[in-house]
Homo-oligomer: A and B are copies of this chain.
Amino acid sequence: MSWFQKEIILSPKSRGIHLITNEITKELAELSAMSVGIAHIFICHTSASLSINENASPDVRRDLEDYLNQSVPENAPYYRHTLEGADDMPAHIKASLLGNSVTVPITRGKLNLGTWQGIYLCEHRDVGGSRRLIITVTGN
């Protein structure tokens, strides 16, 4: 039974959905010693989110971004929280809809993602800057 935890900083990304599976797994060499466990990946921000979805077609990521923009409009007439820009309140809403962490099973030394699954960083701000993640792993 063991634990490890890492903080990683993702370089600034444009508004939209980004596949970051490789940026995560390269930090997880310690996994190779575990036969079973869970990896919890947490983003320490309120205007970006994490999700698991299709890892092959970039169009899925573009369509998801477009859907979110349709579903959570900028400049809705009822928004009060507008001082930080038109993209800010929608970013908070999208963050709650998608969630700020993902948890992935570990099996025989690896993240046990399905064939078509990848980890997404969903950047909801126009200029979100660097994003800090905490990866916590426990297993046996």
Kindly state the separation between the CA atoms of A59 and B81 in the bound complex, as whole angstroms. Answer: 5
**Number of this chain's copies in the complex:** 3
Stretch at the interface among A8-16, A19-27, A107-115: A107-115
A64 is an interface residue with CB less than 8 A from chain B = yes
Question: What's the tally of chain A residues with a CB closer than 8 Å to chain B?
Answer: 62
Among A45, A63, A72, A116, find the residue whose CB has the most chain B CB atoms closer than 10 A: A63
5 other A-B residue contacts (CB within 8 Å) besides A101-B103, A138-B138: A45-B114, A63-B80, A63-B81, A96-B98, A105-B136
Show the binding face of A for B, using Cβ within 8 Å: 1, 3-5, 36-38, 40, 42-46, 51-54, 57, 59-60, 62-64, 66-67, 70-72, 76, 78-81, 89, 92-93, 95-107, 112-117, 120, 132, 134, 136, 138-140
